[in-house]
Structure 1
Amino acid sequence: MHHAEVTERRQAPRRRATLSRVTRLALALLLLVPAISWARAPVDEALALYASYHLDLGNLDRARDLLEADLRKAPTLPALLALARVYFTVGDVEARTDEEKLVAYARGRDVAKRAIELAPRNPDAHFLYGATIARWGQTKGIFRSLFLLPTVKQELQTIFEIDPNHAAGHALAGNVYLELPAIAGGSVATAEEHFRKALATAPRYTAIRIGLARTLIRRGQYAAARAQIDAVLAERDPAFVADWTVKDLPRAKKLLAEIQDKR
């Protein structure tokens, strides 16, 4: 037997063993890749919890904790925007006292401000900053709201400069003009304009219809208001199911009861 053949036979088992190890490693990597791709980022997991808060209000706290932990590692725009939304909603539906509401809105405001610093031309960041400030002022009372009004109006102006059709921005503007007294610049007509612009862009965002219904009631247009309320009650594919379930449906029923004898 030639020396080369002997060497070949001796090395063959070693090559097979090496090939086997490589094959096992490749298989392990292939099995690992789906696990990595399927694992959800903290922001995605938090948003899923947030979207299901109507099933369990505790999901708001779980979403908040995930996002706070994620932001301690590194601030990102998606996490900041998501956390500001969570705090806004905590103030609306989970907080039980004015003090708890103020804490939630203030935290949301601070987070939204960080989002603006990170992305100055992001309209959602400006909306969340303006919305949390407006809610904080509303909770404090009319005089504090008036004090904060210039800031809220500046945020609205910035939103519409960036995106003239920003639905949430128009909804915020509608609420601001509806709630303000006329002496401070409030205008039911201007509120209606903004709500209708918002509705044209986001017809399944039921909070807009609630705002428009309230505006139409103020104008004495009860039939038109009922049409908006009925649309909320009949909506089968709302833009945000959790808000529709927890906030918009109860408000729609309450408004309908308030105008049941109005013609």
Structure 2
Amino acid sequence: MRALLTALALLVVGTAWAGSPLVRELQALSTRYNENPEKIDELKAALEKAGESQAADVDTLLALAQVCFMYGDVRATTEDEKLAAYDRGRQAAKRAIELAPRSAPAQFWYGANTGRWGQTKGIMRALFLLPTVKEAMKTALALDPGYAPAYALGGSIYYEVPSYAGGDLDRSEAMFRKGLELDPRYTNMRLGLARTLLKKGHTADARRELEAVLGEKAPSNPADWAVKDVPQAKAILATLGDHS
């Protein structure tokens, strides 16, 4: 789930916000973060300062939730740093929900940061927080059925979670396929579908999806595709005897 959450979260920032110069700066960074990872630190500090104000708007809080998630995944080097970043991110998303309870992105960021915080803490904490993460995902989809990132989150949840705790590969596949209907160039969504198909024993279908990831000419998030999705797709193909 970690890899799936990482990539879907890095994609979503550019899909819903306008807002302040800081927000626009983060939107731009989200598709080219590989060029200057240190910029994440700078934006995190600036957005944290902006978010401290009681007058912080929804866009600023969503940007703070996003950059904290990015920092936890890309820049943090210790478990404590990761936990602090994800916790700050979920608190920012929670404030965004309070201001805009019908915001699908706010629900998504709350679920994504909460899920990552639980994963960092360990499997038992992750399972304990699972109902919270699932509720955020379901609420995001109820508010906006066309919000593709929530399908990626849902697909990863149903893929990763054990069946006794609510995992369901058929539902995972359905989530990923619906997300790809909405955004066919969402390469992490396609990677998630490939993993699910492999787990179901559909190796040939999974291989086609992985090759489609590698062959994508206009990914929704070019940086994410280059840094996350291509290496992961190649690694999975290598386990199938394909080293292309």
CA contact (8 A) 1:46 1:66 kept: no
Corresponding residue for 1:252? 233
1:44-193 superposed matches below 5 A? 44-73=24-53, 74-193=55-174
Corresponding residue for 1:238? 219
Give the drift of 1:82.
Answer: 1.6
Which 4+ residue blocks in structure 1 deviate beyond 3 angstroms? Answer: none
Structure 2: tracts of 5 or more residues without a match? 1-19
C-alpha separation in 1, matches of 2:119 and 2:197: 21
C-alpha separation in 2, matches of 1:69 and 1:44: 16
C-alpha separation in 1, matches of 2:152 and 2:223: 18
Give the drift of 1:100.
Answer: 2.5
Q: Give CA-to-partner distance per residue, 1:194-233, whole Å, 9 cap, x none.
A: 1111111111111101111110110111111111111111
Count matched residues.
Answer: 222
Whether 2:221 is the aligned partner of 1:223: answer no
Using the TM superposition, name which of 212-221 and 96-105 deviates more: 96-105
C-alpha separation in 1, matches of 2:227 and 2:167: 28
What is the TM-score normalised by the length of structure 2?
0.85
In structure 2, relative to structure 1, the CA distance for the partners of 1:65 and 1:48 (3 Å cut) is farther
C-alpha separation in 1, matches of 2:23 and 2:140: 24
For residue 51 of structure 2, what is the amino acid of its counterpart?
L
C-alpha separation in 2, matches of 1:134 and 1:72: 23
CA contact (8 A) 2:31 2:221 kept: yes
What is the TM-score normalised by the length of structure 1?
0.79
Larger radius of gyration: 1
Q: Percent identity?
A: 50
CA contact (8 A) 1:173 1:194 kept: yes
The root-mean-square deviation of aligned C-alpha atoms, in Å, is 1.7
C-alpha separation in 2, matches of 1:97 and 1:250: 24
For residue 48 of structure 2, what is the amino acid of its counterpart?
E
For residue 128 of structure 1, what is the amino acid of its counterpart?
W
C-alpha separation in 2, matches of 1:100 and 1:222: 38
Corresponding residue for 2:10? none
Structure 1: tracts of 5 or more residues without a match? 1-39
For residue 230 of structure 1, what is the amino acid of its counterpart?
E
Corresponding residue for 2:11? none
